[in-house]
A and B are shown apart, each in its own frame.
Chain A
Amino acid sequence: MSTLESPLAVAESENAKSAAGPSRSASVAELPVAKAVSPTRAALRQFGKSPSGVAGAILLVLLVAATIFGPFIYHVDPLEIVGMPFAPPDADALLGTDYLGRDVLSGLIHGGRATLTVGAVAALITIVIGVSVGALAGFFGGWMDSLLVKITEFFQVLPPLLFAMVLVTLFGAKLSTITLAIGVVSWPSAARLTRAEFMRLRDLDFIKASRAAGAGSWHLILRVALPNALPPIIVSATLAIGVAILFEGGLSFLGLGDPNTMSWGLMIGQNRNYVLDAWWAVTFPGAAIFLAVLAVSLVGDGINDAVNPRLRRR
């Protein structure tokens, strides 16, 4: 993190101060001092300099805004039959209708709510499980590490899509089940990342210094190590959103979507047989998924560049 700031901010020479002595401390106190910039703010500033990151953020904000405010402007029920099936885009249905005669634009708007929510919540579950497991394993080491790594590996060797399908089949194709299933199958990579970070941090001097100042394990994990491990975790969380959106699309495409809640994946899944008759019923939700995943990936890369300036591609 320390590389975020210019080294010019280093304080004035030690020698000057000792030469001045305590009697002249009043004049010393007026020396200009570089303004402190918090690492978070510095990272945000750095993020603002990344064109692709900013573009991704704008795209993401637009998509989220469309799904939030869309229903207030475009009053069409996504599950209601509004016209003939496969009506091409025209004035009645701006983006056409699907195989049941439902409005595609309304589906996009309402489906976006579901898809983006699934993505965000599933990513949150992924990160919460992954970070907890990884932090405990990496920080404590020993038998705790062995045990947690074994559990992580157990989850990692299961093919995630297959595992998620089994979970959804077992517990019913509801949006909540789907979200949980995605979170449960995708945490191992977050756990491994966090574990590696904590193992690196565990032996750093400032952790030892905090311990020597009386900090207990929980304080060290939550207040000292975790904030320092956050940058890669934030990046992986952002990318996890994209993966979760794709996952939801994949599950719905395979017919395991929640039929009572419109989502982008469900739209593709239900209309995939008619793609040659009504390209719009599949293409628009596909494009929406593409844009959403692109947006979070760009944001993730932007954050990555902001928190790891040394790794930035030039």
Chain B
Amino acid sequence: MPVLAVENLSVGMTGRSGGLVPVLENLSFTLDKGKTIALVGESGCGKSMTALAIMGLLAEGFVVTGGRILLDGEDLLTARPKRLRSLRGDAMSMVFQEPMTALNPLYTVGDQIAEVLYYHRRLSRKDAAEQAVEFLKAVQIPAAAQRAKAYPHQMSGGMRQRVMIAMALACKPKLLIADEPTTALDVTVQAQIFDLLAKLQDETETAIVLITHDLGAVAELADDIAVLYAGRCIETGPAKELAASPRHPYTSGLLGCVPHLTVGVAKPAQWHDLGEIPGMVPSLGQRGPDCAFLARCANATDVCRSRPQPPLGAIAPGHTVSCWRAQEIAA
């Protein structure tokens, strides 16, 4: 049984007129123990919305309109609030994008990690504090015992993100959702954080939902990739295959947007190999039944314009894509 199964999840936003505007449509994926799935896509594609829906932390005005989210077979959407609270931070936890603000400024980092253990594991305050130091060591923070007594403002961004990871993994969750965990960090630290996540995943067998813009990291860390566009999943597949042979024009467009630097060469007058996807993601409420990427797609033909967006169709084992011209583009 997969650790996490998201089945036909749809999320809507209550509009001003009272109607529901779809934000996330019919999203499905499964995630096995110790595996990583990456959700990629532009801002506003519904990646974070997916994460919040899984955690049961959708903001006011957003409602799940359909589907199921199964954590170890337990449907989170029908779970009682009390049960959800005990699952959060214990069976599933989340690392946020902005480590500078995701820690409470008034408590020491050791206390904040210990708090999670105290509540979920019912450890004594003293044991929880000792464990917290162990976790700080596990996320490779030097002088962990002293560092546990430090306040968040005394730490750098990378350090704080390590603390966040320690806090998220303190109860050995089955599922970790990392919502752009490295976006706010500088490049060298990003690599360290990804390495750390991979290492800890090996040790704890935690399943990770990785939400990221960093396609380089995706290829390294993720087993599977789901590409979201305008609230719809448009391509899924094993990370390596999807990165090597993207079938959806949007996926290849995204991959084309990654700059490839050549060491020793100054910035070229013009980026020849740096792609661009013209236009913008259609805004909420502007999404019709036809392909959401239609307006921006260089490969669109009359075939695409005449029909609604196709469902995800298998194109290779485990590799599905939602494009009328997937076969032709692959060729």
Interface on A for B, CB 8 Å cutoff? Answer: 1-3, 5, 7, 9-11, 13-15, 17-18, 22, 25, 28-31, 33-34, 36-39, 141-142, 204-206, 208-216, 224, 227-228
Say yes or no: A209-B96 contact (C-beta < 8 A), given A1-B105, A214-B85, A228-B106.
yes
Query: A9-B153, A212-B88, A212-B94 provided; 6 other pairs, C-beta below 8 A?
Result: A22-B140, A204-B101, A206-B104, A209-B167, A212-B96, A215-B119
Contact status A211-B57, CB under 8 Å: yes
Known A-B contacts A15-B188, A213-B88; A33 and B146 likewise in contact (beta carbons under 8 Å): yes
Interface centre among B55, B86, B153, by most A CB within 10 Å? B153
B22 interface residue per 8 A CB criterion:
no
Please choose the segment from B33-41, B155-163, B238-246, B309-317 that sits at the chain A interface, where 4 or more of its residues have CB less than 8 A away. Answer: B155-163
Interface centre among A5, A17, A228 (most CB of B within 10 A): A17
Give chain A nearest CB distance to B76 CB in angstroms.
13
Which of A5, A22, A208, A224 is the most central at the interface, judged by chain B CB atoms within 10 Å of its CB? A208
- Taken together as a complex, chains A and B put the C-alpha atoms of A228 and B151 apart, in Å, by 14
Contact among B119, B154, B189 with A5 in the assembled complex (CB-CB below 8 Å): B154
Using a CB–CB cutoff of 8 Å, the interface residues on chain B facing chain A are 55, 57, 60, 85-90, 93-94, 96, 98, 101-106, 108, 115-116, 119-120, 140, 142-144, 146-147, 149-156, 158-159, 164, 167-168, 188-189, 192
Interchain nearest-CB distance for A204 vs B (Å): 6
A206→B143 CA distance, assembly (Å):
24
Contact B105 A39 (CB under 8 A): yes
Set of chain A residues within 8 Å of B154, measured between Cβ atoms: 5, 9-11, 34, 36
Are A214 and B60 in touch, CB under 8 angstroms? no
Q: Could you tell me the distance between the alpha carbons of A9 and B154 in the complex, rounded to whole angstroms?
A: 5
A33 and B147 contact, Cβ closer than 8 Å, known pairs A2-B152, A214-B88, A214-B120: yes
CB-based contact B106/A1 at 8 Å? yes
Given the interface pairs A22-B140, A39-B105, A205-B96, the reply to whether A214 lies near B155 with Cβ below 8 Å is no
Chain B residue, CB-CB nearest to A38 = B151
Is A33 within 8 A of B105, CB to CB?
no
How far, in whole Å, are A29 and B146 apart by their CA atoms in the complex?
9
Given contacts A22-B140, A211-B57, contact A206 B119 (CB under 8 A): no
What's the minimum C-beta distance from A89 to chain B, rounded to whole angstroms?
A: 52
> Chain B nearest CB: distance from A9 CB in Å?
4
Shortest Cβ distance from residue A21 to the other chain B in the assembled complex, whole angstroms:
10
Q: Is the CB of A214 within 8 A of B90?
A: yes
B142–A34 contact, CB under 8 A?
no
A residues near B89, Cβ cutoff 8 Å: 212-215
| Complex interface: chain A residues within 8 A of B119 (CB) | 214-215
Q: What's the minimum C-beta distance from B90 to chain A, rounded to whole angstroms?
A: 6
Asked if A33 and B143 sit within 8 Å, CB to CB, the answer is yes
Q: Is the CB of B159 within 8 A of A14?
A: yes
Contacts A28-B142, A212-B93; is A14 near B60 (CB within 8 Å)? no
> Across the interface, do B96 and A208 meet the contact criterion of CB distance under 8 Å?
yes
A44 to chain B, nearest CB (A): 14
Q: How far is the CB of B247 from chain A (nearest CB, A)?
A: 34
Contacts of A7 in B (CB 8 A): 153
Question: How many angstroms from the CA of A140 to the CA of B4 in the assembled complex?
Answer: 30
Expressed in whole angstroms, the minimum distance between the Cβ of A225 and any Cβ of chain B is 10
> Is there an interface contact between A205 and B98, defined as CB atoms closer than 8 Å?
yes
B102 CB contacts on chain A under 8 angstroms = 205-206, 208-209
B92 to chain A, nearest CB (A): 9
14 A–B pairs (Cβ distance < 8 Å), ordered by A: A5-B154, A9-B153, A17-B140, A28-B143, A30-B143, A31-B142, A33-B143, A34-B150, A206-B101, A206-B105, A209-B94, A212-B94, A213-B116, A228-B105
Partner pick for A11 among B85, B101, B115, B156, CB 8 A cutoff: B156
A39 near B88 (CB under 8 angstroms)? no
Contacts of B85 in A (CB 8 A): 214-216
CB pair A14–B116 under 8 Å, yes or no, is: no
Name the distance in Å between A192's Cβ and chain B's nearest Cβ.
21
Closest A residue, CB atoms, query B106: A227
